[in-house]
Amino acid sequence: MWIVRGARYQQLPLVYAGANGNVSSAFCNKGSLKDMDVRGKVVVCDTEDEAIYVSDKEEEVKNAGGVAIILPNNKYRGFSTSEIDADILPATHLSYSSGLKIKAYINSTTKPTTTIEFKGTIIGISSAPEVAHFSSRGPSLTSPGILKPDIIGPGANTLAAWPANRMNSSSFNIVSDTSLSCPHLSGVAALLKSTHPEWSPAAIMSAIMTTVDEVNHENKPIMDQTHQPADIFAVGAGHVNPSRANDPGLIYDIQPEDYIHYLCGLGYSDS
């Protein structure tokens, strides 16, 4: 979210980039808005094309004269607002259903208008944690007999240091990906190894997986990005709980011989 201190909010013209029927324009691809009248307007851009980065969409809107951007999810991304970035324009990211409502509003009037106003940061959302659309799903493609994923962890909208670039001089960014959840889980494993140096990797894995949160803060099933209960191929054992993992009470260790027996069961041999 772009925030301007002391800003005066006003209603501005609102336009959907795909109103001309051009798919490329709908996604705000590079050069796609040059023939559209978006100058001084807030532009709604679709986010279905994974190949287009949010910053590229914003740059296209800015170059075409747009003053702000609204980015609703596609149907698959659902309610995941995981594309928050160091924006170069006033911007807001919406769920799929909210995006449909905005497009319906645009179609209902000849002069649609809107404003983007920062109302503050909401914390302590009771429906957390939720599984993001980009979270890796099981089962294992190489070995379907092994349940995957093992566990889920925080990886959506993570505030971290960031190298400045030509469009944004900020030294931080809010990033989402499995590449963010992986270091979180790796850090948990490292902390457990420091407090339990005698534990094997399998023991650490056991401690993490047997002490997870299996429900959200409302004591209800963890939801996926569509706000439906996430299945076992989405959450694995559950959401990591580092504090409980440090004192699991019981761990399940495994020895190399156990892996050998499993591989033999798959038909492998020492030849």
108 and 162 assigned to the same domain: no
As a whole number of angstroms, the distance between CA 201 and CA 253 comes to: 9
17 and 106 assigned to the same domain: yes
pLDDT tens digit at each of 271 positions of the chain = 445 566 677 899 999 999 999 999 999 999 999 999 999 999 999 987 464 578 889 999 999 999 999 999 888 888 876 566 667 898 888 889 999 999 999 999 999 999 988 877 777 778 889 999 889 999 988 888 788 999 999 998 888 888 877 666 778 877 888 888 999 999 999 999 999 999 999 999 999 999 999 999 999 999 999 899 999 999 999 999 999 999 999 999 998 888 888 888 888 888 7
Give the range of the structural domain holding residue 197, as residue numbers without chain letter. 158-265
Cβ atoms of residues 17 and 45 within 8 Å? yes
Q: For residue 53, what is the DSSP state?
A: -
- Three-state DSSP at 173 gives strand
164 and 258 assigned to the same domain: yes
110 and 181 assigned to the same domain: no
Is 2 within a domain?
Answer: no
Is 95 within a domain?
Answer: yes
Of the three residues 114, 148, 174, the one that is the final residue of a domain is 114
DSSP secondary structure string, 92-125? EEE-HHHHHHHHHHHHH-SS-EE-----------
Total domain count, the chain: 2
162 and 258 assigned to the same domain: yes
Is 4 within a domain?
Answer: no
Is 244 within a domain?
Answer: yes
For the entire predicted model, the pTM comes to 0.77
Asked, as a colleague might, if the bond just before 72 is cis with ω within 30 of 0, I would say no
